[in-house]
Amino acid sequence: MNIRRTTKTRRAMTAVAITTGLVLTVAGCGGGGDDNPKSEGGSSSSKPPKDSGDDGDKDDAQAPAADKALAEVQGGDGVTLTVTSADRDEGGFLTISGQIKNGGGKFWIADNWRGDERELRKNGASMAGAALVDQEGKKKYLVLRDTEGRCLCTKFDGGGVRAGQSADWYAQFPAPPAETGKVDFQVGAMPPASIEISEGE
């Protein structure tokens, strides 16, 4: 009788152990299922890729904006200058900005973009020599500068742009009259870029 009771007890214990194991396994699977939603929701790990995907979408959305650049001109040394904005503000200033890409095979030195005026030489490699030309009004506008001759413009770190690299730039000018909606932007030996002025906020 004792042997039978022991056997029954062992069987019952085994059944309980198996049942407990199954319950834990199912719970584990359910938890794993919860983890997947968490990884989908907590897909902070998977969301960043999605976010970065979204950023990619944003980049794609920005790419057309880059395609809609106001103007793009190329120099003989493999440098491409893109103008992306020309905003007139209420203070009577016009800020031009864009990007320079060095598509050449060597370091591009921006030294000759600083302008010929002795006062501007202190700016080193910069956009200090840029100018706007209002063809209709027959006026030329130079980059604004302070009393010490420092331009309100980009100064290039290292004196230029490495091969295959790009750099953002800006230059600030006195704003042409309100009726002037189009000007030519020119710097260094680059061809003139015809750009339309937009009203800033």
Q: Grade residue 144 by pLDDT with cuts at 50, 70 and 90.
A: very high
As given in the structure block, the two tokens for residue 44 are 């902070």
Q: Report pLDDT for 11.
A: 52
Exposure string for 54-80, b = 16+ CB within 10 A, e = fewer: eeeeeeeeeeeeeeeebbbbebeeebb
Q: Report pLDDT for 186.
A: 95
Alpha-carbon gap, residue 64 to 105, rounded angstroms: 27
As given in the structure block, the two tokens for residue 145 are 């500068």
Q: Report pLDDT for 111.
A: 78
* Residues contacting residue 195 through CB under 8 Å, at least 6 positions apart: 70, 71, 83, 86, 96, 182, 183, 184, 185
The per-residue pLDDT of the chain, averaged, comes to 75
**Position 103 pLDDT exceeds 50:** yes
Exposure string for 98-112, b = 16+ CB within 10 A, e = fewer: bbbbbebeeebebee
DSSP state letter for 127: S
Q: Report pLDDT for 49.
A: 42
| Better-scored residue on pLDDT, 27 or 197 | 197
Q: Report pLDDT for 123.
A: 85
DSSP state letter for 194: E
Instruction: Say which amino acid occupies 106.
Output: K
**Position 15 pLDDT exceeds 80:** no
Q: Report pLDDT for 200.
A: 64
Share of the chain above pLDDT 70, in %: 66
As given in the structure block, the two tokens for residue 137 are 């009004």
- Chain Cα centroid distance, residue 118: 34
Q: Identify which of 6-10, 31-35, 57-61, 174-178 has the greatest average pLDDT.
A: 174-178
pLDDT in tens, 104-139: 989 998 878 887 777 777 888 899 999 999 998 899
**Position 40 pLDDT exceeds 60:** no
8 Å CB contact between 81 and 72: yes
HEC per residue, 4-55: HHHHHHHHHHHHHHHHHHHHHHHHHHHHHHHHHHHHHHCCCCCHHHHHHHHH
Question: Please, which residues bridge with residue 174 across strands?
Answer: 93
What is the residue whose two structure tokens read 């152990």?
17
Q: Grade residue 199 by pLDDT with cuts at 50, 70 and 90.
A: confident
Q: Identify which of 67-71, 72-76, 182-186 has the greatest average pLDDT.
A: 182-186
**Position 24 pLDDT exceeds 50:** no
